[in-house]
Structure formats: C-alpha cells, structure tokens
Amino acid sequence: MNVETALLNRKSTRSFLDKDVPIETINSILNQAKTAPSGVNTQPWQVAVVTGKSKRSIQKKMEDTFRSGNKGSMDYEYYPTQWDGRYKERRKACGLLMYSTLDIKREDKQRQLDQWAANYRAFDAPVMLLFFIDSVLEKGSYIDYGMFLQSIMLAAVAEGLATCPQAALGEYPDIVRDELGYSDDVALVCGMALGYEDESNIINSYRTSRESLDEIVKYFP
C-alpha cells in the first residue's frame, strides 16, 4: 500500500468488530510510528495499550462519570474556548452529518447522549490507545505528537485496521492516571480506538469533507 492510498483510506471509525488485534500487530504499528520526527529528537510520546479487563474497567469509570453529569476537564485546552466563524460552521456540519447518518433527531437527547457516551468505550474497539506527555514539555512537542499519531493511523491502515483519534478519551485524565498508575507529572494528550472496522454499521459510511486547496493555500512565486 502506498502513502496516497493510506491517506485516502484513513477515516475516523466508530464501530468495530469483536475481534482481537494481535499484540505483534500493535507492536509493529508502534515501531513504525516511532520513526516520526520530533524536535531535537525529544520523542515525547508515551503510549498505554489498554485491552481486556483493564479496558473494561477504565471505560466503565469514564462512561459512568460522564453519565453522572461530570463533563470532565482535559489537561490542556484542546478546543477553542469560543467557537467563531468557519470553525464553528465546520464543527456544526460535522455533528449534523453524523446524527443525520444515524437518523438521530435534534429532540432525541437520549440517543445523542448514548452516542456520545460511546466515545468513552473507544466505540467498543478491542484496543484503546492512550497517549501521555511529560508536563514540562511545550507546544512544539504537541506538534511532534501529531505526527506520531498520524503515523500510527497510516500504519494501521496498511495492516488492515481502523482507528479513531479521540480527544474525548482525554477528558477524564485523573481517572486514567489512577487506573493505569501514571503520575501527575504526565499529561494525557488524547486516546485512539484501534481495531477491525465493522463495515456493516452505517455510522462508518459517512465522511467529513475537506476544503479545496484554493481555500487553504496561498502561492508566492
């Protein structure tokens, strides 16, 4: 599989088969991804591979906390504190596309809540990846982390696997650190669902749009 194919086939998958991913495959993906560049070779990534009993425990605590009305708080500001202009419109379009695909009506608050709660189970993927970074590191290391995360997703596509990068899995960092034994000296960046796509589930049929080059690129000859 070439890079173009992997880039075009990667998507955020939200329904997975009940099929385990061999640890050898996970390790192969991470070994490829760790070649991602980082400023002065800091390699800021720390990864927790969570499966089985550990996953069931951590996802239950996160989902129960969410359903109790506690919205959580990430270790850093992932999204803007105020949504304006094109970013507000893109966010709205993204949500509407998913809910319309699932035929979830605006007034059906329970189904909306249930769909959002699935985030904390990593959409029932067999593998939940959680990503940590030393708190002393700055914004440049978060840029490096993005390249690492994309590398994981592309390597997963080449292995016949699907992923969904998830900020939501970073919304309850204290629960995650307590469950997995990480110290307060590390920040939880985000998580990622990893597994085999359930191609029969309609939620995996929709794709968000991308802006044309005319909208995002300026040329200076």
In three-state secondary structure terms, 14 is coil
Cβ(13)–Cβ(163) below 8 Å: yes
Cβ(1)–Cβ(156) below 8 Å: no
Average pLDDT of the residues in 65-81? 96
Q: How far apart are CA 16 and CA 199, in angstroms?
A: 8
Number of H helices, E strands in the chain: 8, 4
Where exactly are the structural domains of the chain?
Answer: 3-78+119-206
Q: Which class in CATH covers the domain with range 3-78+119-206?
A: alpha beta
Show Cβ contacts of residue 94 under 8 Å, excluding neighbours closer than 6 positions: 208
Nearest to 201 by CA among 68, 126, 102: 102
Instruction: Quote the pTM value.
Output: 0.96
Amino acid 103: pLDDT:
95
Average pLDDT of the residues in 189-212? 97
Amino acid 25: pLDDT:
98
Q: How far apart are CA 189 and CA 134, in angstroms?
A: 10
pLDDT tens-digit map of 91-141: 999 999 999 999 999 899 999 999 999 999 999 999 999 999 999 999 999
Average pLDDT of the residues in 6-21? 97
Cβ(17)–Cβ(195) below 8 Å: yes
Amino acid 178: pLDDT:
98
Average pLDDT of the residues in 24-29? 98
Could you please report the per-residue DSSP string of 149-182? HHHHHHHHHHTT-EEEEESGGGS-HHHHHHHHT-
Confidence of residue 150 (pLDDT cuts 50, 70, 90): very high
Confidence of residue 55 (pLDDT cuts 50, 70, 90): very high
Average pLDDT of the residues in 151-162? 98
Amino acid 194: pLDDT:
98
Confidence of residue 148 (pLDDT cuts 50, 70, 90): very high
- Quick one: tokens of 124? 């029932």
Strands (E) located in the chain: 46-50, 127-134, 162-166, 186-195
Buried b or exposed e, range 174-203, using 16+ CB within 10 angstroms: ebbbebeebeeebbbbbbbbbbbbbeeeee
Confidence of residue 10 (pLDDT cuts 50, 70, 90): very high
Round the average pLDDT of the chain to a whole number and report it: 97
- Tell me the percentage of the chain whose pLDDT exceeds 90: 99
Amino acid 84: pLDDT:
93
Beta bridge partners of 192: 129, 165
